[in-house]
A and B are shown apart, each in its own frame.
Chain A
Amino acid sequence: MKLTNGSTTESLATINPAIIESDNDTDKGCFDEIYLEKKQQIEACLSEENVDIDKLREFAISPGGFVTDDLRQRAWPKMVGIDVENIPPKPDEAVLHGHRDYNQVVLDVNRSLKRFPPGMDDNIRLGLQDQLVDLIMRVLVRHDELHYYQGYHDICVTFLLVVGEDVAFALVDKLSMNHLRDFMDANMDRTKHILNYMYPLISRVNPKLTDFLERSEVGTIFSLSWLITWYGHVLPHLRDIVRCYDFFIACHPLMPIYLAAAIVLYREKEILENECDMCILHGLLSKIPDDLPYEQLIVRAGQLYKKFSPDEVAHDAILNFKKSQQLAKARIQNRQKYLKPVKKKRWFPLLYQDGSNIYLKITFWTLTAVISATVIAYLKPSDWDMNIAGWWT
């Protein structure tokens, strides 16, 4: 999908306002007005020689986050602690393309059209998609221990759209070794374990809802894409996604799962109105409604975090993990019990004269006949006696 295109990191800054306008042109004016004062405060904070990171973190968490993408471009690098003046240069194309995950990355980026603002010029979009591949590969080639997963591209595209390729690379590079590290193991065991935090959190607030969800056996996979894409894959508007990113960058790496719990709790009524059935609930929960009150949910997630720290929930999460393992083990044992007779059955058809597996049957019966004849001939009592007698006497 390589396509030469003039759009560079610099030119991105000029497309950015367009991105925002097309995303929320009607809300923008009023949105900016509400947070006018906050914008000025952030501006002032960022202009200081030694930026107060704790203050920035407060801005990131409190309503509106960093408000605009211009401020995000300046605030995110500070929060993550990267030096935008010293970003490692891009390695050769051959290095990027030679990585084990390159083909998968290209496949996923090619299919990421939804993540670009509607109405964006095709050439600009194709240029950005090329940059997206490069940005992902740049991180992966630097850290052999990191493994690409489908959904990582959803995180990277968000950073690319807001800060441009080079800074996005530096941000994602750092985050991949911290907040996103657990998702990037060779397998998804640790990702699965993080999902196990959701039910203990929900049950502390609403045991009835937990009981309902557990009975339905809906599991936690409906929230997998929320977690590993930081909601980039599921929220329809870029403005909401970047708002969540402000929050997640400023918080503990487990915060996305606290937000997941807040969303499920918020939808309690809707959930309980449905049948207690895995498919129905998976269908309902995996689709996040367009108009969730994100600011309210972010506050809720923050409250949950303060009230039930990861350390406190960890114990229950491990219990849940063990429970699910035991269940899986029991299921495998059940399955094996069931499979045994099926295995035995594989030999029975050889006894039937039904025209199937004809060559196998011919071989089987011929061998049986030959072996039987040999054995009978060899063990013929008279010969046997004689031989034995002859030998010994």
Chain B
Amino acid sequence: MTTEQKTEVRKPEKEFESSVTVLEKQTQRRIFKIIVIGDSNVGKTCLTYRFCCGKFPDKTEATIGVDFREKMVEVDSENLKLQLWDTAGQERFRKSMVQHYYRNVHAVVFVFDVTKMSSFENMPGWIEECDRHNLNKEIPRIFVGNKCDMTDKIAVNTNLAQKFADSHNMPLFETSAKDDEKANHVDAIFMTLAHKLKNSKPMMPLHLSQYGTGYQNNDIVNINDSPERRGLRRATQDADGNKDGNCAC
């Protein structure tokens, strides 16, 4: 391979880098690490891909180990970087490999498949595991029921899921990574999280924390508040004011 070729290969990464390495920006940018977990085939990869790449992947594959995607978002004129860790669903991976990725996470997204009861029933196991690994129980968690475009195959009814979400102090979202009409909805879910994270404690080295904006301690526990104060409506208003909540299903 010639050097020219090598440079060509790296070009896209360099372009990406150039946007990252501006020191001034970097000091102002906060990075949040989000882990996405749930049973095999519930759509963790598709959800993160939809959010980070703006579309449903053409050919999906089983995730082996851990995949990583990221996206820059702007919340209240602050640029945040969301790093999504997409994990393998098979139990053997979660038992020995995934635990490494629980370290220092700022938020957890639990995903189940609304057309598959077992993926919902296995949730307590995932939550228990998360409790075991998480440093901080106060970190935001959200509960996502995926594949709700398959209306004729719904197996987990919303009330049941909502009750479970309430009992674990998580907001519930039902969505579809596949349905193009719900693309905004997937965005809104992650933007809810971005808001929650932005207003939580600064996730930066200490010397940079002075740059943190609008740190309000109360917001950390908002997620544990009454159900009316959580959820999509608030998120869509906050995240992108022009969107209303009609994409909730």
Contact = CB atoms under 8 A, between A and B. Distances in A.
B135 A338 contact: yes
Interface string A232-276: 010000000000000000000000000000000000001000110
A293 interface: yes
Contacts of B5: 291
B115 to A, nearest CB: 13
At the interface, is chain A mostly helix, strand, loop or mixed? Answer: helix
B204 to A, nearest CB: 13
Interface string B72-109: 00000000000100001010110111001101000000
Interface in A185-232: 186-189, 191-192, 219, 221-222, 224-225, 228-229
A335 B103 CA distance: 10
Given A104-B90, A188-B92, A188-B93, A151 B64 contact: yes
Interface stretch (A108-116, A305-313, A357-365): A108-116
Interface in A140-155: 147, 149-151, 153-154
Contact of A150 (B68, B83, B93, B95): B93
Contacts of A291: 1, 5, 9
Nearest to A282: B68
Contacts of B200: none
Given A114-B61, A221-B97, A284-B13, A107 B33 contact: no
Nearest to B88: A150
Interface in B2-37: 5, 9-10, 13, 17, 20-21, 31, 33
A111 B63 CA distance: 10
A279 interface: yes
A29 interface: no
B181 interface: no
B26 to A, nearest CB: 9
13 contacts: A104-B90, A113-B60, A188-B93, A188-B95, A192-B96, A221-B101, A224-B64, A224-B65, A270-B10, A282-B68, A286-B67, A286-B68, A338-B135
B92 A114 contact: no
A221 B66 contact: yes
B137 interface: yes
A286 B92 CA distance: 20
A119 interface: no
Contacts of B41: 107, 111
B70 A283 contact: yes
A187 B40 contact: no
Contact of B59 (A113, A149, A282): A113
Contacts of A90: none
A107 B118 CA distance: 14
Interface string B124-158: 00000000000111000000000000000000000
Interface residues of A, number: 43
Interface of B: 1, 5, 9-10, 13, 17, 20-21, 31, 33, 40-41, 59-68, 70, 83, 88, 90, 92-93, 95-97, 100-101, 103, 135-137
A192 B90 contact: no
Given A107-B41, A279-B33, A289 B100 contact: no
A219 B103 CA distance: 13
A111 B41 CA distance: 9
A136 to B, nearest CB: 13
B68 to A, nearest CB: 5
Contacts of B59: 113-114
Contacts of A147: 92
Given A108-B62, A291-B9, A150 B40 contact: yes
The 5 A-B pairs with the shortest beta carbon distances in the complex, nearest first, are: A225-B64, A224-B65, A188-B96, A113-B59, A108-B62
A270 B68 CA distance: 18
Max chain A CB contacts within 10 Å: which of B63, B68, B88, B95? Answer: B68
Interface string A145-169: 0010111011000000000000000
Contacts of A275: 20-21
B70 A111 contact: no
A228 B92 contact: no
A108 B13 CA distance: 31
B112 to A, nearest CB: 15
Contact of A112 (B10, B61, B63): B61
B31 to A, nearest CB: 8
A122 B196 CA distance: 45
Nearest to A112: B61
A342 interface: yes
A104 B40 contact: yes
A283 B137 contact: no
B61 A111 contact: yes
A283 B62 CA distance: 18
B1 to A, nearest CB: 6
Nearest to A274: B17
Interface in A102-143: 104, 107-108, 111-114
Contact of B1 (A107, A224, A286, A293): A293
A245 to B, nearest CB: 17
A228 B9 contact: no
Contacts of B136: 338
B61 A331 contact: no
Contacts of A335: 135
* Residue of B17, B31, B97 most packed against chain A (CB within 10 A): B97
Contacts of A338: 135-136
Contact of A111 (B10, B60, B97): B60
A286 B64 CA distance: 11
Contact of A225 (B40, B65, B83): B65
B23 to A, nearest CB: 12
A150 B135 contact: no
B121 to A, nearest CB: 14
A233 B60 contact: no
